[in-house]
Amino acid sequence: MSKAIEADHPMHHGAPAHALERLVFFSDAVFAISITLLVIELKFPHLPKTASDRDFLVTLINMLPQFIGFFVSFFVIGAFWGGHHRAFDCARRWSPKLMMPNLCLLCSVAGMPFFTALVSDYYGKLVPSAAYILWLMLVGVCNLWNNSMAITPPVAADDLDPEYAALIRRRGWSVLLGTATALALCFVNPWLGQPGLMSMPVWRKVLDLLHRRGVIQRV
């Protein structure tokens, strides 16, 4: 009987399994708040009541960088949330080792609205563009660290498919390679910084190809 209870409620260092659920729920909340705060930076400039329709249209057009920054960061944070969901869907046991990498990931994600506002207000400038990409690279490092912990024993499920675990790691590495590519392009031309982030799916395909050919194994 005791073994059956233990199987239903696995423990690790005296911590019940529901601690894992609390970590996931807390993480979801931080992701949701961070992604919502992005819209707060979309502030329409004050116009006098005598402003014409043309004035409003010109102002909206001038806000295009802010809208681009909002949409880019919205889907970037959404992608990180999706990766977090996939990784912790593989987790079955709580471990105190999860705390620090998860907090680091959430801390870096929470900073995204600030850096999004910075690059949006000064789009095409080197320092804001590089700062945004470097921060995103930090998020990628924390993401890889955190998700790797979730798919590694003793946290991961015993029957976790090694191929699926490797896929999650490759997704994490593709983010880092994509941000490194964007950073390099940013120093060539700051306008290419954010568009350079679109190299992430390309890197994912490259890593998948290398994995299938046996060039890389665990990644």
Map tokens 């990180």 to a residue: 80
pLDDT digits (tens, 9 = 90+) for 165-180: 999 999 999 999 999 9
The answer, yes or no, to whether residue 152 has pLDDT greater than 60, is yes
pTM: 0.86
Domain ranges (residues) in the chain:
2-212
CATH 1.20.1410 assigned to 2-212: yes
Q: Specify the pLDDT at position 142.
A: 97
Nearest Cα to Cα of residue 116 among 76, 88, 165, 166: 76
Q: Specify the pLDDT at position 219.
A: 64
From residue 134, alpha-carbon distances to 20, 76, 121, 147 in Å are: 30, 14, 17, 20
> What type of residue sits at position 29?
A
Q: Do the beta carbons of residue 80 and residue 93 sit within 8 Å?
A: no
Nearest Cα to Cα of residue 124 among 181, 68, 200: 68
